[in-house]
Structure 1
Amino acid sequence: YAHVELELIEGAYGSGIEVVSEVSEDIIDKNYQANILNSLMRYRHKGILTGSQLTDVKIVLRYARAHKKHTSGADFYEASKRAVRCALNFADNVLLEPYYDFEIELPFEALNRLTFDLNNMGAETNIGVEGDIAIVTGSAPVICLSDYMDELKSYTKGCARMYLADVNYRPCHNTEEVVRSLDYRQSFDVHNTSDSVICEGGASKVIDYMSAIDRYGFYEKESTEDVARLVKSTFIGTIGTDEIDEIMSKTGGQNKGRDVRKVKKTVLPVATSGSSKKVYKAKEKYLVVDGYNVIHAFADLKELMEVSLDAARGALLDKMSNYRGYVGHPVMVVFDAYRVKGGTEHVETYNGNVLVVYTKEAQTADHFIERFARVHAADYDITVVTSDGLEQSMVRGYGCTIISSREFEKLVGSASIL
């Protein structure tokens, strides 16, 4: 159990990471505060634009709390890094790149060409003239100046000199192009997530940062400005201490620092007439397969996909149809169609025994499967096949069984042999 609320403040270029606490020791013990500050300093936080290292920011601890029995140092380490990630989603993020300080000497007649090139680089320049020699000083992106000397010598016929000095970081001159080329997707970065983990009804549950703030916000809304300043960086990752005591008493003890997972129940109580006893009935099994994730994991399907994606899909569905006959319970295969412009969610049946779902535009298979698990976990014993770490964490929180795509390949192979 750990609860951390932070505020991020923009720092000066080159200032690095600064961490301070503005929480009274009456609210949380100084040892816990030191734990939080150390966690914030030693973790290499990633930005949300490209996954690059976070820098030039002041992190202020605004509030924190712990549980007398159920808090360990590792809890604050996890909560702190999630809080930073959450705050970044509400900040105006700036991508930085390295800049050189430079000094260039060249013939005056070549000055127009140089200034044109430097303007295209987004350089800051100062120009001086000594006789027929122009002296240009300033700063420009390292990536632009690294190979520029050859070009400079070419159009000045070797009559130029360039000096490069200290490297410092400044706003990127082509942010959109860099972000697009790197294609970093923070939702896939399971080691740097902004989601909260809460306890509800005795089980862990992963919720996104927006839901966490809406659901567990603590700051009083004194003014619009205060709300923007404080709520933008709030991370709430837990429930109240009373409910924790209740959950721990039900599960037979205190948190000893081990990774304890609740065993999923596979039976439901059903009342019977004429008797005070309860009869337990097993929940119906349901297999949900992340289609493209499995195609990429199965060696034969991955090879076939390089020739034809349609053929790979058909081959997977053939395997699932055969596997459905072997296991004897419903099988659903979900294909990602979020990049299909104008696509709508639709469902069809393959060979009369496999349910096939194509997601709508802007919806991933992950989102569909997570929603299905959330809605139907109480009614079915759901097993999800995927190797996506984030998706596994989400559906496991609803009590689903997880099988990796590679493990599933072995299971399907065994069923084919039988």
Structure 2
Amino acid sequence: MEYCETITEKIEGVGFYSPSGHFSEVHLLLEPGSPNSGIRLENKIPHGLLDKKWQKQIMTVLKSNKLLGVLTNSPLTDIKITLIGGSQQTKYSHASDYRNAALRAVRQGLMKLRARNAVKILSAFNKVELEVEERHYSQIVALIGQNRGNVLAAMDKNKKIKMNITMPEENLSSFEKKLRLLTNDDYQLTIIKQEFVFAHHQQRIIDQVAYNPEKDLENSANAVSCPHASDDLIVPWNKVEQIVFYPMSKI
């Protein structure tokens, strides 16, 4: 996995999914998480606000679905998502409605953060253990630098050098090709750990991927409403808060 996405500010996202004969509304608090913490979920909805079966449905959906970002459509990580509100109508609410509303709430929050430049791309960095003949050491150090890598430690081992290095995932393949030529395939390289850090050249990556979240209908941030029993109406993500029933929190 080359990229992930995360957030740098907290926001309330709201998902509203109420086509004809259905009703669901979900409010989620999105907050930045600690580095390499993945996605953490919490339920802090006020007692009695939503039936427990709908709460369970929302939390299950958030846990089981691959949540994607709005910059490059890469997986979300290092984020805390808390269920804080919502509304229901006993006659019209269904489990599938809350699935739709929960996922739309995540996307709506992300779109608001995107407008603030508070969604960021994370690039994969590998921690690597490399063992080569001692005579190649200086050339390999130069090669590591050319591929945006860093040498963390190096030690002698029977006329060989054992090195601990870090390098971006996107550079590792090119590095290993040159390493193979330099050492005549006489080396050992082992990936010890992969972490994600803020990517260099964020805008360049966005331009290269050319993902448009507003055209991604399978991962929509918009609301679906059915006012006055008329045809279903699509409400843009930046106007969803004008039609919700549960009040927005003051964030």
Matching of residue 183 in structure 1 with residue 205 in structure 2: no
Q: Relative to total residues, which structure has the larger strand share, 1 or 2?
A: 2
Aligned residue type for 2:121: L
> Structure 1: how far apart are the matches of 2:138 and 2:243?
60
Match of 1:71 in 2: 93
Report the CA distance between 1:40 and its aligned residue: 1.6
Aligned to 1:59: 81
More helix by share: 1
Query: 1:32 & 1:153 partners in 2: Cα distance?
Result: 56
Deviation by residue 1:241-277 (Cα, 9 ceiling, x = unmatched): xxxxxxxxxxxxxxxxxxxxxxxxxxxxxxxxxxxxx
Counterpart of 2:233, as a letter, is K
1:220-235 aligned within 5 A: 221=250, 227=251
Q: Percent sequence identity over matched residues?
A: 20
Whether 1:101 and 2:127 are equivalent positions in the alignment is yes
The residue that corresponds to 1:219 in the other structure is 248
Judge conservation of contact 2:147–2:175 (CA < 8 Å) in 1.
Answer: no
- Is residue 154 of structure 2 the alignment partner of residue 128 of structure 1? yes
Higher relative contact order (CA 8 A, sep 6+): 2
Q: Is the 8 A contact 1:121 1:173 kept in 2?
A: no
Q: 1:121 to 1:151 in 2, by over 3 A?
A: closer
Which of 72-81 and 165-174 deviates more?
A: 165-174
> Does the alignment pair 1:20 with 2:42?
yes
Q: Is the 8 A contact 1:127 1:137 kept in 2?
A: yes
Tell me, what secondary structure is at the counterpart of 1:54?
Answer: coil
Contact 2:46–2:84 under 8 Å retained in 1: no
- In the superposition, the TM-score normalised over structure 2's length comes to 0.74
Contact 1:122–1:173 (CA under 8 A) maintained in structure 2: no
Query: Is the 2:153–2:163 Cα contact (8 Å) retained in structure 1?
Result: yes
Pick the structure with greater CA Rg. Answer: 1
Q: Is the 8 A contact 1:127 1:134 kept in 2?
A: no
> CA separation of 1:55/1:220 partners in 2, compared to 1, >3 Å: closer, same or farther?
closer
CA distance in 2, matches of 1:8, 1:121: 35
Amino acid at match of 1:51: N
Letter in 1 for 2:247: F
Contact 1:5 1:64 in 2 (8 A): yes
1:24-61 Cα distance to aligned partner (Å, 9 max, x none): 22222222211111122222222111112223322100
Residue 164 of structure 2: aligned partner? 137
Structure 2 counterparts to residues 1-400 of structure 1, below 5 A: 1-91=23-113, 92-106=118-132, 110-130=136-156, 134-156=161-183, 160-203=187-230, 204-213=232-241, 216=244, 218-219=247-248, 221=250, 227=251
- 1:18 shift after superposition: 2.4
* Separation in structure 1 between the aligned mates of residue 109 and residue 68 of structure 2, nearest angstrom: 12
1:146-191 deviation line (CA, Å, top 9, x unaligned): 3423312433566654333334444445543332222111111101
Q: Let me know the Cα RMSD of the aligned residues.
A: 2.8
Amino acid at match of 1:148: F
User: Secondary structure of 1:95's match?
Assistant: strand
Q: For 1:121 and 1:130, how far apart are their aligned partners in 2?
A: 23
Structure 2 unaligned spans of 5+: 1-22
Comparing 136-145 and 77-86, the one that deviates more: 136-145
- Cα distance in structure 1, aligned partners of 2:188 and 2:176: 8
Query: SS at the partner of 1:39?
Result: helix
Equivalence for 1:387: none
Conservation of the 8 A alpha-carbon contact between 1:199 and 1:205 = yes
The amino acid that maps onto 1:127 is A
Distance 1:101 1:159 in 2: 20
Q: Report the residue type matching 2:173 in the other structure.
A: S
Cα separation, partners in 2 of 1:177 and 1:136, compared to 1, 3 Å:
farther
- Tell me, in whole angstroms, the C-alpha distance in 1 between the residues paired with 2:82 and 2:174: 41
Preserved contact between residue 2 and residue 66 of structure 1 (Cα < 8 Å): yes
1:112-159 deviation per Cα after TM superposition (whole angstroms, max 9, x unaligned): 543443334333431334397554313222332234233124335666
**Worse-matched range after superposition: 201-210 or 11-20:** 11-20
Q: Using the alignment, how far apart are the partners of 2:77 and 2:206 within structure 1?
A: 17
Contact 2:152/2:166, CA 8 A, preserved across alignment? no
